[in-house]
Amino acid sequence: MPKELFYQLNIDKRNRIINAGLSEFVQHSYNEASTNSIVKKASIGKGSLFKYFVNKEELYFYILDYVIDDFVKDLKDELPKLKGGIFQFILTYAEAEFNWYIENIDKYNLIKRAFNDDNSSIYNKTVERYKLTGSSFYNKIMECAEIPESKWEKERVLNIIKWVLEGLNEKFIKEADQYTNINDIKDRYMEELRKYVEILKKGLYY
């Protein structure tokens, strides 16, 4: 949480600091990111950044919170517009999520870097910090989808769907750098997701 003085800044200066931090953490890992570079990009005095944040870690998580809050808000606004049964809903939602990434490429790149396991302590703190956010958002998605009766218990069905999606998402975060641009990632992800959806349909409902 930033110091109170940060919130007393005018909106332009606050945005300069946020955008400078976002740019630096997108371009460099947490350990390699430079607060000196951030203050230069933000056009603020060298010592003033730490009048607003206790340290680099606090700044990092403030910016990551800012990005993830933006992501969750925008996608939650999309959920009521999505219709259909659970599997069509998953496909349509995935399309909407990738469209958000494409429209917010720097924010996407920060999320991708933050949740790519690099065995660092900051990665472990990141996973711990946002695990409840991820679960809550997943539950919200499931609430909005139409879930037909299955031969299996509903809770078990939802857990299986969740595990498949989590595993696929983790796989693509790890492999994202293999693709030249996000549209290539989207095409490949959607292709894989459709295959898993067909397997889940046949296993859970046919």
pTM, rounded to two decimals: 0.84
pLDDT in tens, 155-178: 787 788 888 888 888 888 777 777
Identify the CA nearest to 135 among candidates 109, 91, 166. Answer: 166
- Residues contacting 87, CB < 8 A, separation 6+: 197, 200, 201
**Cα angle at 19 between 9 and 15, to 5 degrees?**
25
Fold (topology level) of 1-54: Arc Repressor Mutant, subunit A (1.10.10)
Q: Phi and psi (nearest 5°) for 85?
A: -65, 170
Whether residue 23 contacts residue 107, with contact meaning beta carbons closer than 8 Å, is answered with: no
Predicted local confidence at residue 178, as pLDDT: 78
